[in-house]
Amino acid sequence: MQQQYEGYKDLADSLKSVSASLNLERKSQLHQDIITICNHLVNPSFRIAVFGPFNHGKSTLLNAILGNRTLPIDLIPTTGAAITVKYGSDVQTRIMLVDGTEIYRSGTEVLQQFAILDGNRQMRKDVASVEVFCPHPFLETGVEFLDLPGTNDRDEQDNLIREQLLSADLVIQLLDARKLMTLGERENLRDWLLDRGIKTVIFVANFLNLLEPDEQKQVQNRLLFVAESFRAELPPGFSNLYRVDALPALRARLKGDVAAANSSGLAAFETALQNIVGILQPNRGSVRLPRVQAIASQIQYSLKAKIDSIAIEIKSFDDKQNTKIEIKQKAADLIYKGFIISVKELRDWLALPKLLTKYQADAAVALAENNFKNWQTNILKKDLTQLQLAAMKWLYQAYEFFQGERPQDLLIPFPSEPQIILPSKPSNTDDLSEPGSIAVGGGIGWLLGGPVGAAVVGSISYLLNKNIQEQDEQLAKESYHQEVAKICITTIEDYLSRFSSHGLSILSEYEQKAEKVICFQFSQEPLEVTQKREYLQQLQNSFNQLLRELEKVKILSNHQPYKEIPKYSNTNRKYSPQPERVQTSSQEDTSVKQQQENTAKNSATRVESVSPPPSPKASPSPHPEEVEAKFRDWELNEEIVRMKAEMRSPKAYRQTSPGSQTGKQQNTTQSNKAPNQTKTQTEKDQITRAYSILGLQANASLAEVKQAYRTLVKKWHPDLFIGKPQLLKQAQEKMHLVNEAYTILSDK
């Protein structure tokens, strides 16, 4: 029989996994409900719980069914624990204590010690579970009875009862015919059963034998009213209301008095109970899954609230990080662009043709005038330093901005000072009449001194401004000062060539090293944020897994699965500008704008991946606080009130009952109706009439509608007019109109 329920094991595991992901408090109601429903899903037994206020005769009824005084009964509240009655060959009791101790005794006398309330009417806190084994043929079919403590006595007992009802496949709600369906019982019926998907409920009225015959007839009518108002989901053909006088039934069973047992109502109830169980037991999933749906809905909203909260935190962090990264990327690109321009200027300057054009003449003159060192310092070095600093400036800006690798200075050394060897001076060197031999200024000359030195300087200017290769053949035989001038020119050319070659080599290396400076490392994500990402992924996985498991058992959800979150890719990444990333100034504004648009798109993508909207077909469910406030404000269950008022009109009931096929179609039509769909004139007239029935102005708020509805329910509730047939009929007609008006205005 256990194999029949292995199909629900994955669903139970998924529910437990979600509970663990939510980090629910062990004593929280949701956690307790999850554990209870998970254990119930895989339980092969069919559990029947007896439920009702204290002193309603729950244990007495069970003893009558079992045929002996198995369970403790008294005139005061006695049952202090949930007692499970199972099949056993002999009557035995097993008690498990919280510390793991197991107490196993023959008979049930030990229940007086562990399973009844103490002198202060409180349950024992050291008892974990109580089981009674009994050789009854009904139990042998895989049925278990659950004898629950009385309600409306202690909060601790109520919490236990509420938890245990989730594990019951069939609930027997015991009613006291002398005070039928109190407000507390209505609230328990709504909060503990209906709202949690527990609708396999049978009402059993006790103590009817203690009333006078006339009173019994009135109570019987009210009992029918209660039973028909509750949408019990029992097999067709079975009533959800029975009369059993529990104590007379127990006495008759103990005496073996069959006639008395029949007159007490016990025999008819037992027959119906066994037949109902025989139909429901093979298909327990249809009984248990509605409870799962109710719990799963709470879980999904709790889980989604936590997912969305964490997703917002992570998105806020990502947005800030992305903003910082975008700023750094833009800064890196701008710095790199400036650096490249400066390097290009320096590279162009170092090119030999440009060096020769700009400096060869002055350098050769300085060499001829024995003033080269001063020229190198005041002219060449000054220009070089300016260009070097222009390039280095960008790297120091990068270092200051990114705090990365400290840049090295760009140092291009000068070659050694040029040295020349003069040719032998001819003995007849006194002819200074050749072109270009005119002295330029009164320089001191270069080693030659006097007018010869001045002639050399003049020849340097002449030769550099004239293409020597195109000189006429008559100039092939040069004068001495022209020969010396040519040596100076050639020496400077060699000097500048060595300076250019070495400088360009150093500049290339420096440019490569600059890549380590004009870059930034994406900052390591804080451990707290990483853990939140992992937790968010865990929550989303649990959410999606739960959706899949619910879908397997045909439980639909208003939610869509979450998309997988892309892994955070900025950690341990490095950004280095590349030439293709550096645009010209005319392209830059367009690029920045495009980058911002892409960032916005990426941000939007991230938001969608962590917080998918619900399905368009799904109507939004109210917040749990709204539900709680709603039930706290209403003194009566609106559904029960409406059905009570409409039960006198079967046609109206069939048309408006949410449980009927027509009602389902209408509800489906309403739920699928577009919010902005134009209302027909008939619908508008119905709304206007509904406001009038509730005594409200048109377009009154929903809160005002609820308040008016509550006021009219208190005034015209049919239970207020029992025994007054004319007023009762008027009240029922009035409540029919009120409920109809409220339904129209609630759904508009």
pLDDT tens-place string over residues 546-558: 899 888 888 888 8
Q: What is the pLDDT of residues 592-633, one digit of tens each?
A: 344 434 433 433 333 233 333 333 333 343 444 443 333 333
Residue 708 · residue 638 · CB < 8 Å: no
The tokens describing 384, both together, are: 């070089």
HEC letters along 576-598: CCCHHHCCCHHHHHHHHHHHHHH
Question: Rounded to an integer, what distance in angstroms lies between the CA atom of residue 388 and that of residue 392?
Answer: 6
Mean of pLDDT values over 544-573: 81
| DSSP state for residue 79 in the 8-state scheme | B
- Window from 468-477, 554-563, 717-726 with minimum mean pLDDT: 468-477
Q: Which is more confidently placed, 119 or 700?
A: 700
pLDDT interval class at 672 (50, 70, 90): very low
pLDDT digits (tens, 9 = 90+) for 696-717: 988 888 888 888 888 888 788 7
265: exposed, middle or buried (C-beta count within 10 Å: 0-12, 13-18, 19+)? buried
CA quadruple 459, 462, 468, 472: dihedral positive or negative? negative
pLDDT at res. 502: 96
Q: Would you place residue 456 in the very low, low, confident or very high pLDDT band (cuts 50, 70, 90)?
A: low
Q: What is the DSSP letter of 195?
A: G
pLDDT at 618: 37
Q: What is the side-by-side order of every strand in the sheet holding 127-134?
A: 102-106, 92-97, 127-134, 83-87, 143-147, 46-51, 170-176, 201-206, 241-243
121-126-132 Cα angle (round to 5): 85
- The mean pLDDT value for 507-528 works out to 89
What integer pLDDT is reported at residue 414 of this predicted model? 96
Which residue type sits at 67? G
pLDDT of residue 494: 95
pLDDT at 55: 79
Residue 737 corresponds to which tokens in the numbers above? 């109109």
pLDDT tens readout for residues 477-505: 457 778 888 888 999 999 999 999 999 99
Higher-confidence position of 656 and 338: 338
User: pLDDT category, 191, cuts 50, 70, 90?
Assistant: confident
List of domains in the chain = 45-264 (3.40.50.300), 329-521 (no CATH), 634-747 (1.10.287)
One DSSP character per residue, 113-166 reads HHSB--TTS---TTEEEEEEEE--HHHHTTEEEEEPPPBSS-HHHHHHHHHHHT
**Is the predicted pLDDT of residue 390 greater than 60, yes or no?**
yes
CB 456 within 8 A of CB 524: no
Which residues partner with 97 through β-bridges?
A: 127
**Amino acid 666: pLDDT:** 42
- 166-to-29, 30, 132, 195, 659 alpha-carbon distances in Å: 12, 12, 20, 11, 22
Residue linked to tokens 């209302």: 679
Instruction: Label residues 302-323 b or e (16+ Cβ within 10 Å = b).
Output: bbbebbeebbeebeebbeebee
| Region 276-293 average pLDDT | 88
pLDDT-derived band of residue 729, with 50, 70 and 90 as boundaries? confident
Q: Give the mean pLDDT of the chain.
A: 77
Highest average pLDDT, of 78-92, 200-214, 596-610, comes from: 200-214
Better-scored residue on pLDDT, 56 or 463: 56
pLDDT value of residue 343: 94
CA distance to 535, 729, 742, per residue, from 708 (Å): 47, 21, 9
Q: State residue 617 phi and psi, 5-degree precision.
A: -75, -20
Residue 254 has pLDDT above 70, yes or no: yes
Over residues 162-191, the mean pLDDT reads 84
Work out the number of other CB atoms within 10 angstroms of the CB of residue 113. Answer: 12
Helix residue ranges per DSSP H, 465-526: 480-514
pTM of the complete model? 0.55
Digit-coded pLDDT (tens) for 147-175: 888 776 667 777 888 888 888 999 998 98
Gyration radius of the chain over CA positions: 49
Q: Residue 669: pLDDT above 60?
A: no
pLDDT (average), residues 526-548? 90
